[in-house]
């Protein structure tokens, strides 16, 4: 019975021990699963440091579970009481011994022999991390909450927040060194060693550090700028002390060492102004009308909404190529990050416009001359048919316009402009300059060009069709203008509101020139300024009779209207 009782007691203890170990194992497994779930639901920004904290917390919890299980097993089995006593004694003495080990100095620093212990290092490292994390959070708070209210540019906000963040971090680190009893003079030896390291192994790191400070202070490259450095094209997303983040047009983020911005030539497309000029090379066949090519390229440029109207697009005749005339379309844009899509769109529009005007794009050709065609024929005799002599291809053959397609008389702007009296004697070169300064615009019947009392910044020349001059004030028609007439000059030259409403009577084509373009136009064509002055003086007299004039009579008192208007044109436009 005794043996049986002992066996029952042993089995009971065994089951309890197994239960304790099983409970500890299950608790350990559940703890791991719970921590994995917390990791999956953690914010993306915190996942970089979260695994380390998770492992530390999980290790502490698991250690506590197994220590409790081990202690319960020692308590349950009488034979293990000595070990239990040693375990309790060790746990009781552990805090004092651990604290003593932490406070035991292992070195002295500085002239005052400041003791440095393990606890000092732990406190120093912990507070240092807190200082730099706090400085970073302060910089982010300034960047997101305070600086946006100042309406500064994005690049200036990023630079200020970064500089303040690093400044707070440096000041906090210096204060921390002094607060823990470390004399800064005691770090002279360490600074000397670090100086040697910077001079040899850390030279590139030091260069990136200095370059980062220079970028932040000089502000030649800022966050949000569109830059090109060493073949890399993209937008600056962040500038730090060591490196700069560049987002490419493919939405790839590239980490660029700051030193590369000073070792390589950098193109900043958005420095001071986002406006930049695109160069689109175009080749056309020999014999093509150069004025027609100019008009086609300008129409294509003005059809693209992302191309600026001012400065106006231009066409340059670059050179005479081996197989073609070499032209170049120059167009201004204010979205440099989209220059590739804009160039693609312009190429499509240019191709469509060249096809519409039957302008051929050439291809490389070679001249082939046979010095001895008889010998070639003899060499080919074994073949069923003797090869016929190859014809000589003349240079430039196949590069002319299609003769079967005729251009409509009124389809080109050059033909339409020659109908205007003061443009009819212009040379092709002068007409090309004139075409660059304005643009052709179509209006449907009954469409209103502008209304009475509206402000005006454009001057119009009628190339085809008819336009009605209607006075809403008098409620009647004043005149009908036709091909060669112009209007809009009164408001443009005097700054007064429109004196009448202009309405299209039939399908009409107008040549439109704005104020800045008109200034350059009048500087090139002095005779046009005289014609405008004469016409304006005549219209001024008619408007005075109708009571529609908007010009102060005191300004022209005592002067002939023509002389006063001509002098005003010369003053306003500097001619």
CB 405 within 8 A of CB 354: no
Residue 88 token pair: 């309790």
- Please indicate, yes or no, whether residues 449 and 417 belong to a single structural domain of this protein: yes
Domain end (from 240, 272, 304)? 272
User: Which of the pair, 174 or 307, is modelled with greater confidence?
Assistant: 307
Domain containing 424 — which CATH number?
2.60.120.10
Mean pLDDT of 85-95: 71
pLDDT in tens, 355-388: 888 888 887 666 666 666 666 666 666 545 444 4
Whether 309 maps to a domain, the answer reads yes
Predicted pLDDT of residue 261:
84
Say if CB 266 and CB 238 are below 8 A apart.
no
- Side by side, which strands form the sheet with 232-239? 253-257, 243-248, 232-239, 226-229, 266-268
The CATH number for 291's domain is 3.30.70.100
In a domain, 369, yes or no: no
pLDDT tens per residue across span 233-264: 888 888 887 888 899 888 889 888 888 888 88
Note whether 568 and 435 are same-domain residues.
yes
233 vs 219: CA distance, rounded Å:
19
| Shared domain check, 256 and 319 | no
- One domain for residues 91 and 137: no
Q: Is the pLDDT of residue 330 over 90?
A: yes
Verify that 290 and 244 share a domain, yes or no.
no
Count of domains observed in the chain: 5
In a domain, 401, yes or no: no
Average pLDDT for residues 326-353, to the nearest whole number? Answer: 89
pLDDT confidence tier of residue 184, bands split at 50, 70 and 90: low
Lowest mean pLDDT: which of 217-226, 340-349, 431-440, 468-477?
Answer: 431-440
Q: Which domain holds residue 29?
A: 2-102
Whether residues 469 and 529 share a domain: the answer is yes
Res 382: pLDDT: 58
Residue among 230, 221, 234, 224 nearest 340 (CA): 234
pLDDT number for residue 401: 30
Reported as a pLDDT band with limits 50, 70 and 90, residue 406 is very low
Residues 330, 315: Cα–Cα separation, whole Å:
6
pLDDT given at position 554: 47
Identity of the highest mean pLDDT range in 180-184, 450-454, 456-460, 548-552: 450-454
- Tell me, yes or no, whether 38 and 111 share the same domain: no
User: Same domain, yes or no, for 317 and 265?
Assistant: no
The answer as to whether 407 is a domain residue is: no
Of 60-74, 129-143, 496-510, the range with the highest mean pLDDT is 496-510
CA Rg value for the chain: 43
Looking at the structure, tell me whether residues 187 and 212 fall in a common domain: no
Sorted by sequence, the CB contacts under 8 Å of residue 425 that are 6+ apart come out as: none
Domain-ending residue, one of 272, 294, 314:
272
| Distance from chain centroid for Cα 372 | 62
Selection from 29, 87, 98, 18 nearest residue 62 by Cα:
29
- Asked whether residue 376 is domain-assigned, the answer is no
Do 435 and 337 reside in the same domain of the chain?
no
* 155: number of Cβ within 10 Å: 18
pLDDT of residue 396: 34
Let me know whether 143 and 40 are in one domain: no
Question: Which residues lie below 8 Å from residue 314, measured CB to CB, with a gap of 6+?
Answer: 329, 330, 436
> Could you tell me if 236 and 321 lie in one domain?
no
pLDDT above 50: residue 23? yes
In a domain, 38, yes or no: yes
In a domain, 391, yes or no: no
- The lowest-confidence range among 72-81, 195-204, 265-274 is 195-204
User: At which of 356, 377, 405 does a domain end?
Assistant: 356
pLDDT digits (tens, 9 = 90+) for 492-533: 776 678 888 999 999 998 988 877 777 777 777 777 777 777
pLDDT of residue 413 exceeding 80, the answer is no
Where helices occur in 257-407 by DSSP H, the ranges are 260-263, 290-303, 339-356, 373-379
pLDDT at 38: 67
CB 161 within 8 A of CB 146: no
- Residue 517 forms part of a structural domain: yes
């Amino acid at each position: 019975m005794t043996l049986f009782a002992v066996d029952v007691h042993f089995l009971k203890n065994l089951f309890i021990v197994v239960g304790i170990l099983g409970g500890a194992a299950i608790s350990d497994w559940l703890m791991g699963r719970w921590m994995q779930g917390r990791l999956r639901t953690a914010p993306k920004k915190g996942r970089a440091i979260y695994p380390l904290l998770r492992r530390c917390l999980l290790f502490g919890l698991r250690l506590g579970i197994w220590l409790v299980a081990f202690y319960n097993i020692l308590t349950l089995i009488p034979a293990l009481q000595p070990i239990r006593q040693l375990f309790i004694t060790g746990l009781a003495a552990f805090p004092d011994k651990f604290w003593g080990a932490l406070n035991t100095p292992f070195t002295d620093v500085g002239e005052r022999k400041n003791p440095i212990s393990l606890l000092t290092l732990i406190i120093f490292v912990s507070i240092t991390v807190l200082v730099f994390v706090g400085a970073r959070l302060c910089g982010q708070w300034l960047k997101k909450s305070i600086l946006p209210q100042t309406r500064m540019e994005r690049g200036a906000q990023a630079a200020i927040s970064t500089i303040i963040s690093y400044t707070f971090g440096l000041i906090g680190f210096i204060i921390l060194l002094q607060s823990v009893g470390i004399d800064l003079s005691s770090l002279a030896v360490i600074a000397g060693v670090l100086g040697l390291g910077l001079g040899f192994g850390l030279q590139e790191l030091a260069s990136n550090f200095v370059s980062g400070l220079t970028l932040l202070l000089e502000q030649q490259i800022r966050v949000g700028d569109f830059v090109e450095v060493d073949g890399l094209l993209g937008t600056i997303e962040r500038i730090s002390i060591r490196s700069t983040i560049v987002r490419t047009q493919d939405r790839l983020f590239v980490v660029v060492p700051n030193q590369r911005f000073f070792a390589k030539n950098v193109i900043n497309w958005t420095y001071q102004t986002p406006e930049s000029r695109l160069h689109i090379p175009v080749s056309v066949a020999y014999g093509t009308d150069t004025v027609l090519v100019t008009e086609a390229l300008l129409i294509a440029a003005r059809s693209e909404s992302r191309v600026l109207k001012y400065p106006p697009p231009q066409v340059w005749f670059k050179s005479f190529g081996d197989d073609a005339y070499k032209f170049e379309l120059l167009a201004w844009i204010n979205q440099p990050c989209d220059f590739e899509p804009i160039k693609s769109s312009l190429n499509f529009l240019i191709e469509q416009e060249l096809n519409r005007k039957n302008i051929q794009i050439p291809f490389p050709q070679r001249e082939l001359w046979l010095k001895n065609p008889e010998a070639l024929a003899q060499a080919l005799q074994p073949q069923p048919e003797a090869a016929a002599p190859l014809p000589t291809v003349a240079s430039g053959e196949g590069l002319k316009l299609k003769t079967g397609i005729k251009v409509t008389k009124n389809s080109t702007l050059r033909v339409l402009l020659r109908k205007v009296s003061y443009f009819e004697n212009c040379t092709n070169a002068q007409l090309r300059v004139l075409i660059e300064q304005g643009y052709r615009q179509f209006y449907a019947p009954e469409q209103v060009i502008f209304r009475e009392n509206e402000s005006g910044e454009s001057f119009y020349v009628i190339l085809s069709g008819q336009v009605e001059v209607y006075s809403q004030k008098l409620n009647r028609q004043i005149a009908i203008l036709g091909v060669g007439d112009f209007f809009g000059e009164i408001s443009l030259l005097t700054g007064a509101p429109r004196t009448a409403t202009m309405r299209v009577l039939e399908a009409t084509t107008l040549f439109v020139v704005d104020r800045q373009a008109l200034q350059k136009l009048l500087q090139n064509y002095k005779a046009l300024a005289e014609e405008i002055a004469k016409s304006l003086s005549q219209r001024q007299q008619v408007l005075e009779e109708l009571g529609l004039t908007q010009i102060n009579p005191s300004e022209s008192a005592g002067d002939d209207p023509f002389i006063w208007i001509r002098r005003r044109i010369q003053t306003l436009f500097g001619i």
